[in-house]
Amino acid sequence: MTASAKALESGKDYDTLVIGGGVMGCSTALHLARAGMQVALVDRGALCREASGVNAGTLTLHMTRASLVPYAMRAWQMWMDAENWLGMDVLAKQAPGLTLAFTQDECELLTLRANARREQGAPIEIISPERARQIEPGLHPGLLMAGYCEIDGYASAYLTGRAMTHALRNAGVDIFENSAVESIDSGDCGHIANFDGKQAPLRGRRIVLAGGVWIENMLAMLGVQIPIKVLINQLIITERIRPVMRSVLSVANGLLSLKQFANGTVLIGGGWQGDGNRDQGGIESRPQNLVGNMRLAAYAVPALAEARVARVWLGLEAETADAMPIIGDVPGVANAYVVGSAHSGYTSGPFMGRIMAQHILCQPTDLPIFNPARLLGMPMPVA
Amino acid sequence: MTNEADSSALHKIDLMIMGAGPAGARAALRAKASGLRVVLVDENNDAGGQVWRPLPDGFSRLSGVASSAEARDGDALRLELRKAGVVCLFGHKVWNIGSDLRTDVISPEGSVSWLPSALLVATGTTERVIPFTGWTAPGVMGLAAATILLKSQNMLPGRSTLVAGNGPLLLAVANGILKAGGQVAAVIDLASRTDWMLTLPALKARPDLLWQGLRWQANLRLAGVPVLYRHGIDSVVSTPQGFDAHVKPVDSSGAPLSGAARVFSVDCVTVGHGLVPGTDVTRLLRARHRYAAESGGWIAESDEMGRTSVKGLYVAGDGAGVAGAAAAGAHGELAALACANDLGRISTEHYSRERTALLSQRRKPALFGRAMAGLMALREGAVAAIKPETIVCRCEDVTRAEIDAAVHEGARDLNQLKAWTRCGMGPCQGRTCSDVAGALLAIHVGSREDVGCFTGRAPLRPVSLAEVAGQYTYADIPIPKAAPL
């Protein structure tokens, strides 16, 4: 008898092991547990302390991939209702969303992108600079055009882990933090997750891989090769300042996200790239990209020039070869599932977890899932 | 410097030294003498650091008034730097450092980047205050803050001041106040007389400083200032005239004992519970750190020459582990010597000869300094006794009760605690609260190692968007290509 098999003798037999405690893994685990399953949720660190806890918290349709708009709209409502289904809120707040164009080229891009998203159901309209300034008086006078969406807003992403922990504990999910899975043994009777160190192996009838950018490594443990690209997004938070804005701002090509929280701090993001990788995480910001991102923010809302930066950090975002999520069965492995790697994954995350759970429970999913098998052998486009 | 400060160019140098206190300044002199292209940067207007504080711009010393030994030592150091022609960036703040050691400095011309082959961090310490009721009220300040007022501004911290906490700063501040003509209501020391006596063998290493300490104690007796050993502040309550400070006896861990409080009515309370090494830069650069209570807390792992686990990154002075100002100079020189050696700029013979000399020069003052650091070490009983409603993170008003509640809900490490409560998310980025918050968390979780420390991030000091962005038009913003639609 192997050591891990021995350790399992007295252990619990889970209906499902969820590997990866970000927003998608947490939501999947929560929905499965509420449907009556015995669920173990495992993370190598603390829950929602990677992308799910350090992203900009933007709950916008302006930056969502057009075909994901229906998903994002459902998830948006889940975030706004967090207190109801998590029992604890994440300071989610509705705010008007504006996309800004300062050049003719940007006007064209903005119109094109707004139309594509409107076709998918996003209530985005093109408005004049005058109307945009009625919504957000602090905008730069050089504004030429704006996209406006009523369904927009933001959450404080750093609170996600606390809210999820609260909900998961109440739902009876066993949480294993600081437990890095080293390998997975899969067979007819289920899966065994093996750990390095003190944590005894865990056994489950089913397994869900929900590791964000690390899904590539997790799939490899099951012998499946699907490349996942890693984006290293820079984020900037200011000290508390007087109220200077009330909307969520972006620019035509999506490379800005800007909002002021109730406590007065202003978060500047948008996906300007820093340095890092899958193994080491975010290593450092790129000075020229910091300067660029700050310039764009202070250009959009000139009053921001006075704000002092309190902290700059990096968060990892995953992207598949076709830049669409990966939600469904792991190809060729029975009772194994994968969920994640969505653009703007935080916005859509709770809903993605819900449809993953519905699929596992053999229920009809609210919206179609995204079959991982399509990505087998698909080359990653060169940036 | 003006023509060198072209913001578009990257200035290549051998060694950048952050912090112009005793360690950084002596390191700069040693580096210059070893032929290194060295730049010394400090956010203050001149060299000297906290111990040899320079006067503010526009201030000068009165002629005919005897200056203190510290003022004389500081002036001598500043003169020496000038004579040696060390390139000094005073009034400049370093806000970011890359893994290639690229150092971004806010100067009057905007953000300027330097690219040194080696970086020496000599940024000293932050004062620790173990929170008590009323510690955030205006008029309650650190011993270090009182020191700045006395040394640099020639100002009394109050008319009648209570001096409290632990460590040698208690005596220094109380004497500074008396010398400047102020009143000291009492000195409240967490340490016992025995704690002080136990440092005597080490103090013999520096008879001059021992003598100074004894003189300070005599001055207090002469002025009739009560000294309460094994006592701590329980609470400070505002009154129309100032404060009523409630003082209680404590045990050896700093935990309050039962019994009636003594009340001192004062208009200023100055309090400090030791010094915590500043590790902002070494954490930012992901150097290996270890928890060393006797050295003040978390410190970067380093050898006796100040080499850290990161190539090209050196630490010296109290920021590398509290050992006192007198030992910091030699430590700085050792680190500069190591830089010169590691960059291949001095001979092996020169290196080992000077190394031996400097190590021996540092030994006695370091013995003394470490004994003092022992007196300043964190007293865990005082942390455990923080009341639930007391604010721990003063930037974000996070109380002990909120920290305990997060622990109860499952928070297990310092960064998780931060995300759950905002403890350490404010303008000071945890410089003020991290040591105490870490100690509070460790009570529940186990060791300080389990709890960890806050992840280091830029900016090292808050910088405005305007300072970083500089002058620009929309066309100057290098907007990346669009995200997928």
| Distance (Å, whole) CA B124 – CA B329 | 12
A-chain CB neighbours of B96 within 8 Å are: 285, 287, 290, 312
Identify the three-state secondary structure at position B373: helix
Q: Is the domain of B447 the same as that of B339?
A: no
Q: Which DSSP letter does residue A158 get?
A: G
Q: Residue B109, CB half-sphere, CA atoms under 13 Å: how many?
A: 13
| Distance (Å, whole) CA B63 – CA B78 | 18
* B residues 282-311 closer than 8 Å to A (CB): 286
Q: Is the domain of B99 the same as that of B171?
A: no
pLDDT of residue B6: 42
| Distance (Å, whole) CA B97 – CA B100 | 8
Buried b (16+ CB within 10 A) or exposed e, A180-216: ebeebbbeeebbbbbbeeebbbbbbebbbbbbbbbbb
Is A104 part of the contact surface with chain B (CB cutoff 8 Å)?
no
Q: Is the domain of B416 the same as that of B296?
A: no
Q: How many CB atoms lie within 10 A of CB B377?
A: 20
In a domain, B485, yes or no: no
- pLDDT (tens digit per residue) in B301-323: 999 999 999 999 999 999 999 99
Residue B85 pLDDT exceeds 70:
yes
B-chain CB neighbours of A63 within 8 Å are: 483
Name beta bridge partners: A174: A40
| Distance (Å, whole) CA B262 – CA A174 | 51
Residue count (chain A):
383
Kindly give the confidence (pLDDT) of every residue in chain A, 383 residues in length, as a single tens digit, with 9 standing for 90 and above. Answer: 454 555 455 578 999 999 999 999 999 999 999 999 999 999 999 999 999 999 999 999 998 999 999 999 999 999 999 999 999 999 999 999 999 999 999 999 999 999 999 999 999 999 999 999 999 999 999 999 999 999 999 999 999 999 999 999 999 999 999 999 999 999 888 999 999 878 899 999 999 999 999 999 999 999 999 999 999 999 999 999 999 999 999 999 889 999 999 999 999 999 999 999 999 999 999 999 999 999 999 999 999 999 999 999 999 999 999 999 999 999 999 999 999 987 889 999 999 999 999 999 999 999 999 999 999 988 887 75
Q: Is the domain of B67 the same as that of B12?
A: yes
Is B388 part of the contact surface with chain A (CB cutoff 8 Å)?
no
| Distance (Å, whole) CA A155 – CA A78 | 12
Indicate which CATH number applies to the domain containing B396.
Answer: 1.10.10.1100
Query: Do the beta carbons of residue B77 and residue B47 sit within 8 Å?
Result: yes
In a domain, B481, yes or no: no
Q: Is the domain of B312 the same as that of B298?
A: yes
Q: Which domain holds residue B211?
A: 129-273
- pLDDT (tens digit per residue) in B338-395: 999 999 999 999 999 999 999 999 999 999 999 999 999 999 999 999 999 999 999 9
User: How would CATH label the architecture of A3-52+159-225+322-375?
Assistant: 3-Layer(bba) Sandwich (3.50)
B376: Cβ contacts below 8 Å, ≥ 6 apart: B166, B167, B168, B169, B273, B274, B275, B296, B322
Q: Which of A166, A255, A323 is nearest residue B480 as measured by Cβ atoms?
A: A255
pLDDT of residue B342: 98
Q: Which of B111, B465, B483 is nearest residue A304 as measured by Cβ atoms?
A: B465
DSSP β-ladder status, B38-42 and B87-90: parallel
| Distance (Å, whole) CA B96 – CA B87 | 20
pLDDT of residue A9: 57
When divided into structural domains, chain B yields a total of 3
Which residue stretches of B347-394 are H helix? 348-376, 380-384
Nearest CA in chain B to A304: B465
A96-151+229-319 topology per CATH: D-Amino Acid Oxidase; Chain A, domain 2 (3.30.9)
pLDDT of residue A188: 83
Cβ distance B459 to A311 less than 8 Å, yes or no, reads yes
* B residues 6-65 closer than 8 Å to A (CB): none
Nearest CA in chain B to A46: B416
| Distance (Å, whole) CA B273 – CA B130 | 6
Q: How far is B186 from chain A (nearest CA, A)?
A: 38
Indicate which CATH number applies to the domain containing B137.
Answer: 3.50.50.60
> For B263-325, what is the HEC assignment?
EEEECEEEEECCEEECCHHHHHCCCCEEEEHHHCEEEECCCCCCECCCCCEEECHHHHCCCCH
The encoded tokens of residue B125 equal 């310490």
- A138 exposure class (CB count in 10 Å sphere: 0-12, 13-18, 19+): middle
Name beta bridge partners: B292: B297
Cβ distance A287 to B474 less than 8 Å, yes or no, reads no
Phi, psi of B359 (to 5 degrees): -60, -40
| Distance (Å, whole) CA A253 – CA A268 | 15
Q: Which of B286, B419, B478 is nearest residue A53 as measured by Cβ atoms?
A: B419
Given B352, B375, B398, which residue is the final one in a domain? B375
Domain ranges of chain A: 3-52+159-225+322-375, 96-151+229-319
Q: Is the domain of B16 the same as that of B61?
A: yes
Name beta bridge partners: B289: B300
Q: Which of B426, B429, B478 is nearest residue A292 as measured by Cβ atoms?
A: B478
The helix or strand, by DSSP H or E, that contains position A72, with its residue range, turns out to be helix A69-80
| Distance (Å, whole) CA B235 – CA B137 | 11
Identify the three-state secondary structure at position B370: helix
Residue A54 CA: distances (Å) to CA of A311, B29, B327: 12, 43, 41
Identify the three-state secondary structure at position B434: helix
A271: alpha, beta or left? (left if phi > 0; alpha if psi -120 to 50): left
Q: How far is B395 from chain A (nearest CA, A)?
A: 10
- A303 exposure class (CB count in 10 Å sphere: 0-12, 13-18, 19+): middle
Check the CA dihedral B252-B254-B260-B261 and report its sign. positive
Average pLDDT of the segment spanning B118-133: 97
Query: Do the beta carbons of residue A165 and residue A177 sit within 8 Å?
Result: no
Is B459 part of the contact surface with chain A (CB cutoff 8 Å)?
yes
Is A363 part of the contact surface with chain B (CB cutoff 8 Å)?
no
Omega prior to B459 cis, within 30 of 0: yes
Is A304 part of the contact surface with chain B (CB cutoff 8 Å)?
yes
B-chain CB neighbours of A284 within 8 Å are: 98-99
Is A177 part of the contact surface with chain B (CB cutoff 8 Å)?
yes
In a domain, B423, yes or no: yes
pTM, two decimals, is 0.94
Q: Is the domain of B268 the same as that of B352?
A: no
The encoded tokens of residue B264 equal 């001192």
Residue count (chain B):
485
Q: Which DSSP letter does residue B347 get?
A: -
> For A279-337, what is the HEC assignment?
CCEEEECCHHHHHHHHHHHHHHCHHHHHCEEEEEEEEEEEECCCCCCEEEECCCCCCEE
B-chain CB neighbours of A273 within 8 Å are: 480
Task: Supply angle C-alpha B459, B464, B466, rounded to 5.
Answer: 130
Q: How far is B100 from chain A (nearest CA, A)?
A: 10
Q: Which of B419, B478, B482 is nearest residue A49 as measured by Cβ atoms?
A: B419
Buried b (16+ CB within 10 A) or exposed e, B155-165: ebbbebbbbbb
CA end-to-end distance (rounded Å), chain A = 49
Q: Is the domain of B268 the same as that of B146?
A: yes
The encoded tokens of residue B296 equal 């003040």
pLDDT of residue A245: 97
B313: Cβ contacts below 8 Å, ≥ 6 apart: B101, B118, B119, B121, B282, B285, B287, B307
In a domain, B351, yes or no: yes
Nearest CA in chain A to B455: A313
Q: Is the domain of B182 the same as that of B267?
A: yes
Q: Is the domain of B101 the same as that of B163?
A: no
Q: How far is B54 from chain A (nearest CA, A)?
A: 27
DSSP β-ladder status, A229-238 and A202-209: unpaired
B103: Cβ contacts below 8 Å, ≥ 6 apart: B16, B18, B41, B94, B96, B97, B113, B114, B115, B116, B119
Strand stretches in B122-210, DSSP E: 125-127, 140-141, 160-165, 183-189
Query: Do the beta carbons of residue B164 and residue B142 sit within 8 Å?
Result: no
Q: Is the domain of B267 the same as that of B134?
A: yes
Q: How far is A292 from chain B (nearest CA, A)?
A: 5
Strand stretches in chain A, DSSP E: 13-19, 39-42, 93-94, 97-101, 124-127, 145-149, 153-154, 174-176, 181-187, 190-195, 202-209, 229-238, 248-251, 257-260, 266-269, 275-277, 281-284, 308-319, 326-329, 336-340
Residue B443 CA: distances (Å) to CA of B189, B270, B380: 24, 27, 9
The encoded tokens of residue A370 equal 């995204």
Task: Kindly give the interhelix angle for B348-376 and B325-342, rounded to the nearest 10 degrees.
Answer: 150
pLDDT of residue B291: 98
Cβ distance A287 to B102 less than 8 Å, yes or no, reads yes
Q: Is the domain of B43 the same as that of B171?
A: no
Mean pLDDT over each residue of chain B, to the nearest integer: 94
Residue A183 CA: distances (Å) to CA of A47, A180, A225, A286, A334: 20, 9, 15, 35, 17
